[in-house]
Structures are given as C-alpha cells and as structure tokens.
Structure 1
Amino acid sequence: MNERILISGASIAGLTLAHWLARHGFHPTVVERAPGLRAGGNGVDVRDQAVEVAERMGIMPRIRELATDVQGMKFVDTADRAVARIDTRDPASIEIMRGDLVALLHQVTDAEYLFGDSVRGLEQDDDGVTVTFEHAPTRRFDLVIGADGMHSTVRRLAFGPEEQFIDFKDHYFAFANADASLGEDRWVTMFNTPGAMTGIYRSGNHAQAKAYFMFRSTSLDYDHRDIAEHKRLIGERFADDTSWRTRELLESALADPDFYFDALGQVRMDSWSSGRIALVGDAAWCASPASGAGAELALVGAYRLAGELAAVGGDHRIAFVRYNTVHRRLVEKKQQIGPNVRLLVPKTAGGRCVRDVFARLPLMNAIGAVERLTRAKGPRLLPDYSPAA
C-alpha cells in the first residue's frame, strides 16, 4: 500500500527518510531544487537517539571520522583577547559539518532523484496525489512528504501560507566561508556589539572556516531565495562596524557564492499531515539554529515516519497519526531554546558584560554537565520497526 512516495528536499531529513523507506520496501523519489547536493552549511550535532539511527544506517563510523574537533566557544573584546570561554565538548555528541553528513546519507540511500526541480502544484484525492513540477512532467504518487526546510513549498501548498506557522524570534543570522587565519584553531570565536554578533567557527579537522553573523531586528521584508539581497542586508547591517575582525570576515563572507541568510524562527504546527501529504524536518518543526537540535530531530523524525508507515503496511491514515504523536514530545522539548540567543547576542553593552562574567563562572560548565547527564538517563533505543504481517 502507498509504495510510490515523493520526498521534496534532499537534505538531512529527506535523505534519511528516503533511506528508510527504501529499506522497508517503498519506492521513494526525491526532488531537490538545487542542481545537486548542497555541500555547504555549518556544524550539526548527532546525539542521543540520532546516534542510534546513524548506527542502524551504518554511517556512524564515518561520522566519527569526519567529526569536527571544536572544543567550545570563546568571547573576545576589540583587541581579540578572550574574556570568557565555555567548553561545549560532549562525549555523547558528535559534531559534523552539514555538507559532510548529507554526502554520507546520499551514499547509503537508494532512490530516484530529480535535481534542479521543485514541486509547483499538489492535487490529492482518495487514491493518490497528482504532482506538477517546475520542469519534469506531471506525475502521480501515493504519498508526498515535504522535507524542504523552514520555507517549505509543500507546506505552503498543502497547509497554507508560512506566516501561519513560523514564529519569528527577533533575530536574523548568516554564515559563509571565511579565512581560517582569522580564528583560533578548534574554537568558535565570537565578538559582540549591542544587539549583534560576529564570529568565526574553526575546526582543526577542516581547512575551511565559517564566518557567522547575527543581529537583532524587527521583521524584514525580503525574498528568502535572493542571495544578492541577503548579502545586501548583512552588508548594510555590519558595514559601519570596524571593530575586532568584522570587516575582514564580512568581506570573506560576501565573496562566498554559498552565503546563507535567514530569519531565526521556529515552525509550530498542530499536525504534520493533511490527507496523503505530510511534513518532516524543518518544514514541520524547525527548532531554529539556536536549539542545536536540527540534525537530531531530522534523523529521528525521518526514521520514525518511515518506520510507522512500514509497521502498518503503508496505511498513511494510521502511520501519520502515530508519527505525529510519538515524535512530538521530542520536538516540543528541543524547541525550548531557553537563554541561548541572549547568551550569543546580548541586547545591550551592560548585558554583554553580565554575560561575560557569567560565562567565566564554573557554573556554566556545571550546567552543561547536568544537561548531558539528564539526556543520558533518557530513553536511548528507538523502536525496531518491522512491516505489518
């Protein structure tokens, strides 16, 4: 039942879903707007139940080989002196560059791919979904899954305008390639002015560093696919900031064709499915980069969605409800991002001073240790889904 499944988006959630659907005997097709796999991106964490998913996919040894070796975050003053450091290392969590993880997932996934294309229209009925594409001929599928990010086209077509679902968190962020000489090896270095942050991420295992920018703002009106406009927004916001190494990082970032910019936001929905159409990953529940849980939620959520379909012989009416129930608890927990944004981007100079004092206290590392211990005591193993008899 419902063997032909279209997945929109070839990122972590989409590829993980395609892998497990194929393993369970379904026939996934993946459509991706980009002409190929997106190689860029920042570091993402594979932790807790996501480690178990990766183990079952057979990619965990390679994830460990390709892992970054970043020790933590440090905050600096205008003279590049470290005013505080926070150790973020976690033995139970492996950080890997997003592009590296996507490449690993693609290597172990057997699916049909339609690169350089996108869904344009969806019409569902009792027997399936008619899908029109930007370029490919119209086709019929039994089910359609949107794994196409916070600005999901599938969600817009099946559920309504994104304004109904995105909870804007009053900040915008960007990242791009940077000159590695501008940052300390194995550290994320951050410099703050009131309401803004400039930083550089440098892994000792990777030659390429990443520049980061974040700033507080009211909602901006812009095209989320227009990279030239994104660069203009960041360029204007940080053009007058000549302190620390902001100018050099800005020049490097604006020269990167893979420059990435977006709003800091979360996706909140009462249901991740509508008839024969469902959502997974950031399209369904984006927790925002401030949560640090994007890859974890994508891997676990995609595994559960494919597993629930397999467990009931492809009956989406049952599987989608179960998926929505069992995975929602983890999503709601990870969407509670707490003081992370205030820690990274203090609103005022006084707030920055308080943050720096607080970050120097041993309490910060103690809090991290308690959090890791709490996670370790939680449920670790996922269900081993088997097809219904």
Structure 2
Amino acid sequence: MPRTPRNDRRVLISGASIAGPALAYWLDRYGFEVTVVEKAAAVRGGGYAVDIRGTAREVVDRMGLLPRLREAHVGTQRITFVDVEGEVIGSFEPEQVTGGHAGLDLEVRRGDLADALHTPLRDRVEFLFRDSIAALEEDGEGVEVVLDSGVRRRFDLVIGADGLHSNTRRLVLGPEEPFHHYLGHVFAGFTLPNEFGLAHEARVWNEPGRTAALYAHEPSEPVHGFLTFAREDPPFEAFRDPKAQRDLVAESFPYQGWHVPRLVAAMREADDLFFDVVSQIHLPAWSRGRVALAGDAAHATSFLSGQGSSVALVGAYILAGELAVHDDHGAAFVAYEERMRPFAERNQALADAGGTVVTPTTREQLDARNAVLRGRGSAASGLVTEGAEEGRAAHSGLVLPDYAEAIGAVAGD
C-alpha cells in the first residue's frame, strides 16, 4: 500500500531513457506526483541490445515486466573474433566474457526496454517531450524550474536521469570535466543492411587500439555496426560537429581488411549515428540539496562494463524506495547513495576486463586474447575466467530491500 509522506510529493525527472522511466514507475507506485521531461520527441525506439542481469533482473520481475522482456530477448549466441583477413580466430559464448547466466540474463534492444518501461506510465505520469531543463533555482521549500520552452514549474525534488553528459548535473554541480573519467576510447554506432548472413552473433575485428564489430539479431533486420578506437584525449571538440565526428572515425580506420571499408562507408551515410566517448562518471556525491542524480548521470559504468542499463534499473529502484521510506529527502538521498555506491563502483570496475577482451589496446593484449581463442595460453585463459567470475559477483552484488514491506511497517499497515 503506497505511503503518503509529509512532503516531497512532486518530483521532476529529467530523462526518459532507462533510469528515468524506471524511477518514475516506482515513485508513482509509492504515491508521488511525477513529471518526466525529455528533449527527444518521443521514447526512442530501436538501438543496440542491452543486458539485464543479476539484481536488475529481479527489479524488472518486481515491475511485472519479465514476460514482455522475455519475448523481446534477442539472444546473442556467440561472439566471433576474426583476423585482419577476416578469417575466424575463434569464438566465445557471451557469458564466458561477461560472467552472465545463459537462460537467465535478458538481452533486449534498448528501445524495447525503454518502451516496456514507458508503457505502464502513459496514463499515470506526465511526460513533457521536446523540452529540457534550462534553469533551476532551489529555496528551502522546493525547486523552481524553467524549461527551454519557457514553461516555469515548481517541484519538491528534481532528479537528473539524463545520461553521461547530464544537463541537470551541469546546472547543479558545474562542468562535466572534473567528474568525467575517460577510458581512452571513442566509438561510433550505427545500423546498416545485413549483407553478411549473420544472425544472433557478433563478429569482431581488431588491430591494437582499433575495433570494428557487427552485431546481428534476426537475419531480416539491419545489423548494428560499431567502430571503436583508442585516443589519448577525448575529442570534446567534435561533439557538436557531425561532420567532424565522421571524419575522425574514418581517419582512424584506414584499413582494407575484413568489412572495415564497408563499415566506414555505412558510418558516413548513417542517419542514426551515435558518437561518444567510452567514459565513466565519478562523483564525490550524487545529490545536492533537493536535486539528485540517477543512472549514467550519477555513475556511468561505460559500455565496456556491459552493465549500464542494469545498474540504472537497480539505482532507480533504490532511489525511489528510499524516498518512500524517508520523510526527509536529504536522509533519503544519503541512504540511496550508501546502498548504491558500492554496487555501482564494483560494476564500473568490470570495464577493465571487458576492454582487454573486446577492445585490446596493445599488441600484447591482442595476442593474449587470441591465444585464448585458439586454445593456448592458460594464464590468459585464467584471466578471462577470473573476469567472468567477478562479473557474476558484481551483477548480483546488491540485495534488494523490500520497500513495500518497509512502507507498510512504517505506516502501521
């Protein structure tokens, strides 16, 4: 039974990708009045596949979403690595690298997950699309918010769930750079026709510091292409210039082997290019006053960890629950961070192992990885196994509190 706190009723969430709608779901369930603002025109469809593992799987189960997400499961069966000529070196089952559990983990298109989260909220939560927060001014009783559209609204709390380059975080804590932990890679993602005969498989080509990959789901669907390259400094200057992004990626892949030229050409032509850096966010605190951060805005793990969406789902559950059981938002934010930070940091650490396997930077790392694939190098093989075991432990490294039970106990139900 939802509790009725004495204050903190109206909450504005910035961002309608994963963390934002998940947080909105739980806050609405606990009786909060929720508004979500999103700069895109609608919930984004499509997108590459994301994984839901461990504790996050329990979260979507408690949301009643497991049946729908099982239907949307795309099920990558193997990751195959090829050499510079395109010849197969060897394959891993994804779980051998990620530490996941075959048959339990969910792998769904990002858009399918976003839609599953959004659907139960359509008639319950206010969504403001094509808009974003322009200014925040907090006083002792609430937060005055001005949107880009010129609308002025007042809320008790504001939550930034607006991603790695969070606008909310910038408005409250200042420029991103002090909190941006760059992992030394830049990537471009896009779709292209499946001219390769691939299904339920990823194919990966490497040179030291360069990775080209094709991820295929159904054979009749477009494949997702990725071009990832090592770079000493993040190219912040290219973020606002699509042509500069495409030029930078193309210049980093002059190779003629495998399908690299086709991938570069597709990247040049793509109307869905997603260009970004491989980075994490490390903050000294996830809240200030009446504003808190969730998902990648608070603790981006990077795609090398494979855990961004899972950690976002867990964090949304914890943040909403702590707000529901605490009358004071400050105490709730402290409890949220105390529970979530160790889990988030443990999953951030997985990026190191993931990067060595999928995006080796040096010739030594690449040769060790290929030795594993060819059945040689017991030490290297042990390293992969150790990484998978740590992955399994990290994925399930937080036991979910039962907030519904706690709320009932506090309310005297």
Given the two structures, how large is their TM-score scaled by the length of structure 2? 0.88
Contact 1:269 1:284 in 2 (8 A): yes
* Corresponding residue number in structure 2 for 1:202: 216
* Corresponding residue number in structure 1 for 2:286: 272
Whole-angstrom distance in 1 between the partners of 2:391 and 2:172: 38
- Amino acid paired to 2:29: R
Deviation at 1:230, TM superposition (A): 2.4
Whole-angstrom distance in 2 between the partners of 1:223 and 1:144: 30
Deviation at 1:241, TM superposition (A): 1.9
Q: Which residue of 5, 8, 15 corresponds with 1:2?
A: 8
Amino-acid identity (%): 38
* Corresponding residue number in structure 1 for 2:3: none
> Once structures 1 and 2 are overlaid, which stretch shifts more, 54-63 or 347-356?
347-356
Query: RMSD of the alignment, in Å?
Result: 2.1
Deviation at 1:78, TM superposition (A): 3.1
* Corresponding residue number in structure 1 for 2:98: none
* Corresponding residue number in structure 2 for 1:231: 246
Deviation at 1:372, TM superposition (A): 6.6
> Do residues 383 (structure 1) and 397 (structure 2) align?
no
Deviation at 1:256, TM superposition (A): 2.2
- Amino acid paired to 1:94: L
Q: Which residue of 321, 327, 331 corresponds with 2:344?
A: 331
> Once structures 1 and 2 are overlaid, which stretch shifts more, 29-38 or 336-345?
336-345
- Amino acid paired to 1:77: D
**Structure 1 spans left out of the alignment, 5+ residues:** none
> Do residues 178 (structure 1) and 178 (structure 2) align?
no
Aligned length: 387
Deviation at 1:61, TM superposition (A): 0.7
* Corresponding residue number in structure 2 for 1:359: 373
Deviation at 1:2, TM superposition (A): 1.3
* Corresponding residue number in structure 1 for 2:66: 60
Whole-angstrom distance in 2 between the partners of 1:268 and 1:150: 11
Q: Which residue of 98, 105, 111 corresponds with 1:99?
A: 111
Contact 1:182 1:245 in 2 (8 A): no
Whole-angstrom distance in 2 between the partners of 1:172 and 1:379: 30
Contact 2:343 2:398 in 1 (8 A): no
Cα distance change on mapping 1:144 and 1:125 into 2, 3 Å = same
* Corresponding residue number in structure 2 for 1:252: 266
Q: Which residue of 137, 141, 144 corresponds with 1:127?
A: 141
Cα distance change on mapping 1:253 and 1:140 into 2, 3 Å = same
Cα distance change on mapping 1:372 and 1:134 into 2, 3 Å = closer
Whole-angstrom distance in 2 between the partners of 1:345 and 1:114: 38
> Do residues 159 (structure 1) and 145 (structure 2) align?
no
* Corresponding residue number in structure 2 for 1:20: 26
Q: Which residue of 311, 314, 336 corresponds with 1:297?
A: 311
Deviation at 1:194, TM superposition (A): 2.5
Cα distance change on mapping 1:376 and 1:234 into 2, 3 Å = closer
Whole-angstrom distance in 2 between the partners of 1:377 and 1:131: 37
Whole-angstrom distance in 2 between the partners of 1:369 and 1:263: 24
* Corresponding residue number in structure 1 for 2:84: 78
Q: Which residue of 98, 108, 130 corresponds with 2:120?
A: 108
Deviation at 1:178, TM superposition (A): 2.1
- Amino acid paired to 2:44: R
Deviation at 1:384, TM superposition (A): 3.0
Deviation at 1:352, TM superposition (A): 2.2
Q: Secondary structure at the match of 2:76?
A: coil
> Do residues 69 (structure 1) and 69 (structure 2) align?
no
- Amino acid paired to 1:275: G
The runs of at least 4 aligned residues of structure 1 exceeding 4 Å deviation read 364-369, 371-381
**Structure 2 spans left out of the alignment, 5+ residues:** 1-6, 96-100
